[in-house]
Amino acid sequence: MKKFFSLFPKWTKGLLVGDFKQLLVFLILLFIFRPYNLGIDYITIWHLFFTGILLTAIFNCHHKPAVKIMALALGIPAFILNWWSLFELTEWLFIAGLFASLVFIVFSIVSLLSRVLLGKVTPDVLRGTICVYFMIGFAFTIGYTLLELVSPGAFVGLAEKAQLFPHGHYHSEMVYFSFITLLAIGYGDITPLGDVSQTLVVSEGLVGQFYIAIFVARVVAVYARRANDQPRPVKKE
C-alpha cells in the first residue's frame, strides 16, 4: 500500500488516505467565493469548489469500504445534477441538485463525526472538527434555499432576485444567512416567516451553540490534556 501511495504527488497522498486538509481548504473557498451574481464564470468557479468538496468528502468519510461506496453513490447524482443545472437553468433541476447535495452533505457529516469521535485526538481530527462545522452551515444553507424555492416568501429581507442567475442569488443570500445564524450573530436583515422556516433557523442556532460548547470544547480539552501529559525534558544544571 505504501508503494502505491508513493506513486502519487505529495499533495494527493493526504487526499487519498483521508486527510482533512484538502476538504477544509475547499470548504473555506466555497464560503469565501459564494456566488454574488457576478456572472456565469463566477458561478462556475463556485461549482468547481463544490465539486472539490464532493471528492474530498468521499475520501474523508469513514474508512470502511461500505461507507465510501455509499458516499460515492450519493455524490455522483449530486455532481451530475449540480453541473447540469448550471447549463440548463430550470427550477426543478436546481431543486433536484440541491436535494441530492443536501443528502450527501448530511451523510458526510455523520460519517465525519464518526471519524472524529472514534479517532485519536490529533491536529488532523481538529481540522475534521472544523470541517464538520462548515458542512453544518452549508447543509442549512441548502435547506433554506430549498424552502424558499418551494415556498416563496419563507424569508423576508432577501435582496432583489437576480434576473439572469436567480440560483446564484439564492445561494449567496442563504450562505450569508446560514452562517450568521450558526454563529448566533443574527443581524435581523433576513427574517424567517412561518413555522417551518422559524423551526429550521432555531434548530441551526441550537446545533451551532451545542457543537461549539460540547463537541469542540471536548476535543480541544482532550488534545490539551494529552499534550500536558507528555514528559518534559529535564534541564541539566
Q: What is the pLDDT of residues 41-86, one digit of tens each?
A: 777 888 889 999 998 998 888 767 888 889 999 999 999 998 888 8
pTM attached to this predicted model: 0.82
Angle, alpha carbons 38-42-44 (nearest 5°): 140
DSSP category for residue 151: S
What is the domain partition of the chain in residue ranges? 13-223
Any residues with CB less than 8 A from the CB of 47 and at least 6 apart, and which?
A: 82, 83, 86
Classify 78 in phi/psi space as left (phi over 0), alpha (psi -120 to 50) or beta: alpha
Classify 37 in phi/psi space as left (phi over 0), alpha (psi -120 to 50) or beta: left
Whole-number Å distance between alpha carbons of 116 and 97: 28
Q: What is the pLDDT of residues 152-206, one digit of tens each?
A: 888 888 776 544 455 666 678 888 899 999 988 878 888 898 889 999 999 999 9
Fold type of domain 13-223: Helix Hairpins (1.10.287)
pLDDT at 233 over 90: no
DSSP category for residue 52: H
pLDDT at 129 over 50: yes
What would the grid cell of residue 129 be?
472538527
pLDDT score, position 4? 43
